[in-house]
Amino acid sequence: MIRRHPLVAYYAFAFGISLALGLLLNVSLIFGLLALFGPAAAAFTVAGATEGRAGIARLWSATTRWRVHPAWYLAAVGLPLAGYALGHMAYVIAGNEPLSIPGPVEPISLVLFFLVIGEEIGWRGFLLAGLLRNRSPIVATAIVAVAWAIWHSPLYFVPGMPSYGQPFIAFVAWVIPISFLLTWLWLGTRSAWLATVMHGTMNLGAAIIFPLTEPAELFMFSAIGMTVVAAGLVVTSWSRLTTRPLPARDVAASPSLVARETRT
């Protein structure tokens, strides 16, 4: 089963591990934090079962690839903040008063900034990378976005979970554009660490740029801003996002190399 359908096996393991730990969140916050590493545990398990040491080494290489051009770090932080700034503008245009910025940052948000690497090892480092072997980036991103959103769904539908009763569709509207931002970053760096920086900024940036306390409104207006940013990247990188990439391999994380690949 694992060898024949590694991506399906990965998702089943990731969902099952995270759900089992997440259901213990009311026992201790530690279980909720450990649930973030369900995708990473699943990714390394399936990589080892299907490719042995080579698969684990490839995944670990993507996880620890931090030596990239500084422009990629600027993009990983700057693009999410730009999306939130645009979302804040949309909020004001809709007739609301501007919010005071920067907003307060909770200590747990700083911890989560780094712990989301447990997600990114799985979502970008394993699932996206695997889908890109025989699908275009746009199709692969759509699949990852749906899978990622469903993985979060117990938070919205299981009684006692932090987001129980809140509109799940608002969260989905936000996940879709940020998935395209993360794919764009992955194609340029092949780095789960850089994806972690962007993902962490997504979680932390709202408090700084758009400190709206109503989750549904925050997600919907932020989705507008993120969609504008993602649309700009899709337009400027259309050929790269709509064609099947070269076979999986490590690439030098240099914007100039990405530009050359896009033209070829």
pLDDT of res. 245: 57
Q: Report which of 116, 97, 142 is spatially closest to residue 38, judged by C-alpha positions.
A: 116
The answer to whether residue 252 is domain-embedded is: yes
Domains of the chain: total: 1
The answer to whether residue 182 is domain-embedded is: yes
Rounded distance between C-alpha atoms, residue 143 and residue 232, angstroms: 21
pLDDT of res. 3: 84
**What DSSP assignment string belongs to the chain?**
-TTTSHHHHHHHHHHHHHHHHHTTTTT-HHHHHHHTTHHHHHHHHHHHHHHHHHHHHHHHHHHH-----HHHHHHHHHHHHHHHHHHHHHHHHTTPPPPPSSPP--HHHHHHHHHTHHHHHHIIIIIIHHHTTTS-HHHHHHHHHHHHHHHHTHHHHSTTSTTTTS-HHHHHHHHHHHHHHHHHHHHHH--HHHHHHHHHHHHHHHHHH-----HHHHHHHHHHHHHHHHHHHHHHTHHHHHSPPPSS------HHHHHHHHH-
Task: Residue 212: give the domain boundaries.
Answer: 68-263
The answer to whether residue 23 is domain-embedded is: no
From first to last of its 264 residues, what are the pLDDT tens digits of the chain? 788 899 999 999 999 999 999 999 999 999 999 999 999 999 999 999 999 999 999 999 999 999 999 999 999 999 999 999 999 999 999 999 999 998 888 888 899 999 999 999 999 999 999 999 999 999 999 999 999 999 999 999 999 999 999 999 999 999 999 999 999 999 999 999 999 999 999 999 988 999 988 999 999 999 999 999 999 998 888 777 777 654 444 333 334 443 343 343
Single pTM value for the model: 0.90
The answer to whether residue 157 is domain-embedded is: yes
Rounded distance between C-alpha atoms, residue 137 and residue 240, angstroms: 8
The answer to whether residue 138 is domain-embedded is: yes
pLDDT of res. 99: 93
The answer to whether residue 2 is domain-embedded is: no
Rounded distance between C-alpha atoms, residue 166 and residue 215, angstroms: 8
The answer to whether residue 56 is domain-embedded is: no
The answer to whether residue 215 is domain-embedded is: yes
| Token output for 215 | 């989750």
